C-alpha cells in the first residue's frame, strides 16, 4: 500500500515542516548501504525559536519534551527527502541520540527524549522501535533546547 506512512501522518494531523537547511558546512543526511545517517536536528521549527534555553532552568520538562518533538519533526522532514519523498521505504528506526541542553541538576532526559521517541513510535509502529541514548549537555547550537541525531534503515 503506497502512502501508508503519509496516511498515518494525516491521521495524526501531523504536517512535516520544510526540511531546515543545515546551519553549517555539512549536509542533512548521508546514505551508506541501506542506512541513512541524519544530521543533528535542532528544536526550532522554522522561524519559531521560542523553545530556547536549558531544560530545568529556562524551560520545564514539558517544554523540553515539546522541543524534542520539534527536533523529531525536522528529522522526519529530512528522512522523507532521503527516501525520495516516500516514507513507506522506512524499514526501521535504528537509533535516536537525544541531546538535552540541561541545567546541571536536571536528570529527566528520558522523559524529554520521549517527545521524539513517542512521535516516531506513533508514526511507524513496530518499525519505529529504536535504540536510544539521551544525555544532558551544556549548550546546543543557537541555544536550542534539544538536538536529535538518528540512523535509519530504508529499502
Count residues near its own copies (CB under 8 A): 59
d(CA 142, CA 79): 22
By beta-carbon proximity to its own copies, the closer residue of 1 and 33 is 33
Contact with its own copies (CB under 8 A) among 117, 123, 124, 145: 117
Contact with its own copies (CB under 8 A) among 23, 46, 49, 60: 23
Contact with its own copies (CB under 8 A) among 99, 123, 124, 145: 99
b/e per residue 94-125 (b: at least 16 CB within 10 A): eebbbbbbbeeebebbeebbbbbbebbbebbe
Q: In Å, how far are 5, 15, 41, 88 from 123, measured between CA atoms?
A: 7, 12, 18, 11
Q: Which residues of this protein are in contact with its own copies, per CB under 8 A?
A: 22-30, 32-35, 37-40, 92-97, 99, 101-111, 113-114, 117-118, 121, 129-143, 147, 149, 151, 153
Amino acid at each position: 500500500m503506497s502512502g501508508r506512512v503519509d496516511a498515518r501522518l494525516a491521521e495524526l494531523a501531523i504536517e512535516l515542516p520544510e526540511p531546515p537547511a543545515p546551519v553549517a558546512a555539512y549536509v542533512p543526511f548521508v546514505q551508506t548501504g541501506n542506512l541513512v545517517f541524519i544530521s543533528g536536528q535542532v528544536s526550532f521549527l522554522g522561524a519559531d525559536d521560542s523553545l530556547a534555553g536549558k531544560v530545568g532552568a529556562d524551560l520545564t520538562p514539558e517544554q523540553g519534551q515539546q522541543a524534542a518533538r520539534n527536533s523529531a519533526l525536522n528529522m522526519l522532514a529530512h528522512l522523507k527527502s532521503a527516501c525520495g519523498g516516500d516514507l513507506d521505504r522506512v524499514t526501521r528506526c535504528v537509533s535516536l541520540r537525544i541531546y538535552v541542553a540541561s541545567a546541571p541538576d536536571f536528570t529527566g532526559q528520558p522523559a524529554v527524549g520521549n517527545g521524539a521517541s513517542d512521535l516516531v513510535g506513533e508514526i511507524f509502529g513496530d518499525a519505529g522501535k529504536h535504540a536510544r541514548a539521551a544525555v544532558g549537555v551544556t549548550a546546543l547550537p543557537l541555544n536550542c533546547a534539544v538536538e536529535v541525531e538518528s540512523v535509519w534503515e530504508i529499502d
